[in-house]
């Protein structure tokens, strides 16, 4: 963020959560769950640039940091990831693996690192509340409640 501030560029964050992952793990076991997470990670890696940063945030959550990237391009990257995950694996029990993704951009959506992550996370929860397997960009009106 300090580099973005110095250079006057935007920085976007994607917060991803694998939909129904706990249920997936219960039905198919932790080994299958680990393979599914590696598959999601491969898809994410194939959709981002070399300067972007990808990390597992915890459990079935991932964060993608997109330096020098505005909201519109971040939404396009998020949608490529969402589609890629959905198509990466054969359906299990008639269901495909899917992700819900929240997007937030500095400086338009947040002024601090904590707020940027919180707003991307909040938007991801909005994606889940909206039916899962979707991308939601942060909007200030979201702060009113899920």
* CB-CB contact of 64 with 52 (8 Å): yes
For residue 143, the 8-state DSSP code is: G
Closest C-alpha among 73, 92, 93, 70 to residue 81: 73
- CA 124, 21, 129, 13: dihedral to nearest 10 degrees? 0
The secondary element (H helix, E strand) that includes residue 45 is: helix 30-47
Choose the catalytic residue: 60, 68, 114, 141.
60
Residue 114 annotated to the active site? no
Active site residue ranges: 60
């Amino acid at each position: 963020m300090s580099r973005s501030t110095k250079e006057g560029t935007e920085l976007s964050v994607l917060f991803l959560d694998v939909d129904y992952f706990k249920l997936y793990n219960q039905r198919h076991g932790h080994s299958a769950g680990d393979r599914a997470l590696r598959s999601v990670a491969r898809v994410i890696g194939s959709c981002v640039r070399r300067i972007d940063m990808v990390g597992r945030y915890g459990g079935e959550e991932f964060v993608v940091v997109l330096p020098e990237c505005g909201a519109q391009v971040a939404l396009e990257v998020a949608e490529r990831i969402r589609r890629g995950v959905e198509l990466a694996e054969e359906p299990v029990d008639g269901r495909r693996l899917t992700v819900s993704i929240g997007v937030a951009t500095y400086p338009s959506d947040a002024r601090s690192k904590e707020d940027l992550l919180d707003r991307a996370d909040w938007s991801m929860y909005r994606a889940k509340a909206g039916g899962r397997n979707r991308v939601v960009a942060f909007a200030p009106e979201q702060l009113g409640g899920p």
